Structure 1
Amino acid sequence: MFKAADYVVRQVVSPEIGKDLIDWGLKAIGVELAWQKTKGEGIKVAILDTGIDEDHPDLIDNVKEYIDFTNSPSQYEDMQGHGTHVAGIVAAMDNGIGMVGVAPKAELYCAKVLGDNGKGGFEAMIRGIKWAIDRKVDIISMSLGTSSRPPEVLYQVIKQATAQGIVFVAATGNENSQVCYPAAYDEVIAVSAVDENMQHPQFSNHGIENEICAPGVNILSTYKEGHYARLSGTSMATPIISGAIALILARYKQLHNGAKPSVSAVHELLQHMVKDLGAQGRDEVYGAGIINLALLP
């Protein structure tokens, strides 16, 4: 059984209309410098989560497809707010409303694999990944996890997608414990969180699988029913990395006549686009460090 990585609603907010707020988490990773080169044009990001508020004014143009694999009474609608928050961090529109995502020109494909209670089975996850493969997405972002090792069939479908060039990004988890699955798989980029002081929050999981970190405390994004909220968790750090990878892929295509880097090349690029935190070099708490998009070539 998977569940959404637990999170805390700090406050539901109403950002100023007519102004796109660039949240502290985006400023901390140098996103404004990266935007001078790309905003993620043409990159497809699948969000596997609790559904989507597809009519949210900051998401409506970027949400291209959505589907429910949970048989929830609400169908694809996001009753939790979690999936909508994650989607906004990746690609909320730069439209003078509310806030803006890391890659505001990226396309979103949202699969509801967690039910209205925030939990879901392995079958829904597998179906969601296969659906994303069929849509030829570039990135699959998963702010969810389980502490127990999933059945082998899930790992095989992740390997299948990776072989087709899809980059997986997942949350390490929020139990101050070991890295959960699917983030613990070698093929998946495992993301931990930092706070505004670039410190490790007590909730963020850690371990040798941890690859990179990103802001994950008090992060502003879109929320259910057209609202906005500030939430905390590795669930919020994960889509920051997914959005960052969308920018990296879009920029790579600009520089290489439309060519796409291999998944292993993306992992390698991330290791060199960081500011080291904690112990020198890669460590179990911060991974290689915090993503630094100011280093985008």
Structure 2
Amino acid sequence: MTPPPLFPPFDPRKRNHPGQREYINKILFVKPKVPPFRCYHDLINSKITNLKYLKKLNAFIGLFPKNSLAEQFRHHPDVFQIEDDIDVQIFIPFKGKIVPKTQMIPWGIERVGAQKAWYYSQGKGVRVGVIDTGIAFDHPDLERNIKGGVNIINPLLSPYDYNGHGTHVAGTIGAVNNEYGVVGVAPKVDLFAIKAFNKDGTAKLSDIIKAIDWSIENEMDIVNMSFGFNEPSPTFREAIIRAQQAGVLMIAASGNKGTRGRIEYPAQFDETIAVSSINEKNQISNFSTIGPQVDLAAPGEKIISTWPNNSFRELSGTSMAVAHVTGVAALILSRYRQLSTYELAEVLKSSAIRLKNISSFAQGAGVVNAAIAIRSP
């Protein structure tokens, strides 16, 4: 016999005012190691629609009626966290010109010592997920390294990039070393396009959480998160914690507001590596948000990388800095596969080069350096 629901089901016939006719997307995390069946049963009986279960995160996403039902679920014995979905926006402080296609090594690749590390490692076999606007996987500087992906927004479509941001990030991480365009930090890495942001650079937090679940399910080693927002989301924190426990190293942007004291989420979470931006003069970029949670600095100003339509473009932002750190992490992990996420993070920080007369608020442990890191473990 099916047990009765813990809460009375939502009855659409009892709508007494217009507000009850509205629905809102919510994110619900079941307590760790608690089977989801009872919670699922109660959600179904409460008429929660568009319900999706995220297996690796043990979480649900669905449309709740705007009434007291969500508050009731806060007291459900199996529920760990529940909150409203929010919008997230990618912000690019500077977008430069489209540049020529002749082979070049961007200044950021040189600054992090990638070339000196290529003798030992080029990132082969490391699976890097790029949660972003997708990737232009037909780009001649990327297509050899694109190994798969997913369109979180519309799973029936490919994760192709119609914005450009994700393609630019992917190029800095792993553009192929050939006779064309640019070279990435880890030119033989396995790249996966995880499209959670649309062509306007906006995303739902629920889609980003789905992207993290996909990353765990598909065994990503490293996840690049070149985005940020100011909302202290408890469900997002839980997703980050569970991904770290699953062995995923997550690297995130400190933010582009140029403020001091409070960096953005998810970089602010202890479970991520928070990255600020420097320019060619080894100065912290004016747009870079800084604070005590910053772990590392990396090149992020006037970075040339891949762009849709087989082209290349110069962009600035902490997004670009994150991509450099992700690439260096891939180089290290490719050579030292036994490293845990905690050990890999420690190698990145212990091998960084500190900038003089700049506080740890701005640079964390210093500027990431592949040449030193590759010989550290």
TM-score range normalised by the length of the shorter chain: over 0.9
* Candidates 311, 330, 339, aligned match of 1:227: 311
For 2:123 and 2:341, how far apart are their aligned partners in 1? 17
CA drift of 1:156 comes to 1.6
Match of 1:179 in 2: 263
Task: Choose 92-101 or 211-220, whichever is displaced more.
Answer: 92-101
Q: How high is the sequence identity, in percent, across the aligned residues?
A: 36
> What amino acid is aligned across from residue 215 of structure 2 in structure 1?
A
* Candidates 144, 164, 184, aligned match of 2:246: 164
Match of 2:370 in 1: 293
- Asked if 1:269 is matched to 2:347, the reply is yes
- Asked if 1:198 is matched to 2:282, the reply is yes
Which SS does the other structure have where 1:45 is aligned?
strand
Task: Choose 60-69 or 119-128, whichever is displaced more.
Answer: 60-69
For 1:93 and 1:202, how far apart are their aligned partners in 2? 31
CA drift of 1:6 comes to 2.1
> What amino acid is aligned across from residue 103 of structure 1 in structure 2?
A
CA drift of 1:74 comes to 7.8
* Candidates 95, 99, 121, aligned match of 1:9: 95
- Asked if 1:89 is matched to 2:177, the reply is no
For 2:264 and 2:143, how far apart are their aligned partners in 1? 32
Which SS does the other structure have where 2:178 is aligned?
coil
CA drift of 1:71 comes to 3.7
Structure 2 gaps, min length 5: 1-86
* Candidates 112, 116, 123, aligned match of 2:206: 123
> What amino acid is aligned across from residue 8 of structure 1 in structure 2?
F
Runs of 4+ in 1 over 2 A off after TM superposition: 70-77
Instruction: String of CA shifts for 1:198-225, please: whole Å, max 9, x gaps.
Output: 0011100000110000000111110012
Q: Could you tell me whether the CA contact under 8 Å between 2:221 and 2:247 is conserved in 1?
A: yes
Which SS does the other structure have where 1:242 is aligned?
helix
> What amino acid is aligned across from residue 349 of structure 2 in structure 1?
Q
Q: Could you tell me whether the CA contact under 8 Å between 1:5 and 1:143 is conserved in 2?
A: no
Please give the residue correspondences for 1:212-223 in structure 2 after superposition, counting only pairs within 5 Å. Answer: 212-223=296-307
CA drift of 1:153 comes to 2.1
What TM-score, normalized by structure 2, do the two folds share? 0.73
- Asked if 1:57 is matched to 2:135, the reply is no
Q: Could you tell me whether the CA contact under 8 Å between 1:194 and 1:213 is conserved in 2?
A: yes
For 2:177 and 2:91, how far apart are their aligned partners in 1? 27
Which SS does the other structure have where 1:271 is aligned?
helix
Match of 1:256 in 2: none
Instruction: String of CA shifts for 1:68-93, please: whole Å, max 9, x gaps.
Output: 12249986221210000001110111
- Asked if 1:247 is matched to 2:324, the reply is no
> What amino acid is aligned across from residue 89 of structure 2 in structure 1?
K
For 2:182 and 2:332, how far apart are their aligned partners in 1? 21
> What amino acid is aligned across from residue 199 of structure 2 in structure 1?
D
Larger Rg: 2
For 2:155 and 2:246, how far apart are their aligned partners in 1? 30
CA RMSD of aligned residues (A): 1.6
Task: Choose 4-13 or 193-202, whichever is displaced more.
Answer: 4-13
Task: Choose 24-33 or 61-70, whichever is displaced more.
Answer: 61-70
For 2:133 and 2:288, how far apart are their aligned partners in 1? 21
CA drift of 1:278 comes to 4.1
Q: Could you tell me whether the CA contact under 8 Å between 1:221 and 1:228 is conserved in 2?
A: yes
CA drift of 1:279 comes to 4.3
CA drift of 1:45 comes to 0.3
- Asked if 1:44 is matched to 2:127, the reply is yes
Q: Could you tell me whether the CA contact under 8 Å between 1:72 and 1:115 is conserved in 2?
A: no
For 1:278 and 1:114, how far apart are their aligned partners in 2? 37
Match of 2:71 in 1: none
Instruction: String of CA shifts for 1:256-295, please: whole Å, max 9, x gaps.
Output: xxx2x11111221122111101447x61011111012221
CA drift of 1:66 comes to 2.2
Which SS does the other structure have where 2:363 is aligned?
coil
Number of residue pairs the alignment of both structures matches: 286
Instruction: String of CA shifts for 1:7-31, please: whole Å, max 9, x gaps.
Output: 4221101221xx3x11111111111
Instruction: Tell me which of the two structures has the higher relative contact order, counting C-alpha pairs closer than 8 angstroms and 6 or more residues apart.
Output: 1
For 1:192 and 1:272, how far apart are their aligned partners in 2? 17
For 2:201 and 2:232, how far apart are their aligned partners in 1? 19
Please give the residue correspondences for 1:78-157 in structure 2 after superposition, counting only pairs within 5 Å. Answer: 78-150=161-233, 152-157=234-239
Q: Could you tell me whether the CA contact under 8 Å between 2:328 and 2:369 is conserved in 1?
A: no
Q: Could you tell me whether the CA contact under 8 Å between 2:112 and 2:324 is conserved in 1?
A: no
